[in-house]
Homo-oligomer: A and B are copies of this chain.
Amino acid sequence: MTRQRQLIYSIITAAPEHRTAEEIYELAHRDMPSLARGTVYRNLGILEQEGQIRKLEMPGAPARYDRERLPHPHLICQRCGRIQDAAMPPTLLEELAREQGVTLTGYDLKLYHICPACGGT
């Protein structure tokens, strides 16, 4: 673990926000002005492969990174784009697998709503 990777990792784990590579680069760049964008991408890839962070692909927008390591759904506001980690009851997952008649190896669930701040329920 290099200082660069350390820094990138700490930015992701410090707060529950789901940041983009660019945001992470900007924050990291303040502390280490020599740090390059490419290094951020490279290390995000490595951290993800090692299972230390999770990549969240966002439709039509840059990917975001999640410090939570266990698979879980994401609740996304359609107005403001705010992302929250959500819960997936194991029984629900089992029911889904049974419904399809397969053994699941993973899933990616995005739930969309309008958050209270945006006038939703």
Chain A interface residues (CB < 8 Å from chain B)? 55, 57, 59-60, 73, 75, 78, 86-89, 92, 95-97, 99-100, 102-114, 120-121
CB < 8 Å neighbour of A95 from B55, B92, B113: B92
Copies in the complex: 2
B-chain residues with CB within 8 Å of residue A106 when the two chains form the complex: 78, 112
Complex CA gap A114/B92 in Å reads: 20
Dominant SS among interface residues on chain A: mixed
Given the known interface contacts A86-B100, A92-B95, A102-B121, the answer about A109 and B107 at a Cβ–Cβ threshold of 8 Å is yes
Complex CA gap A109/B110 in Å reads: 6
Contacts A/B (CB < 8 Å), 19 sampled:
A57-B57, A57-B60, A78-B106, A86-B99, A87-B99, A87-B100, A89-B99, A92-B92, A92-B96, A100-B113, A102-B113, A102-B121, A104-B112, A105-B113, A105-B120, A107-B110, A108-B108, A108-B110, A108-B112
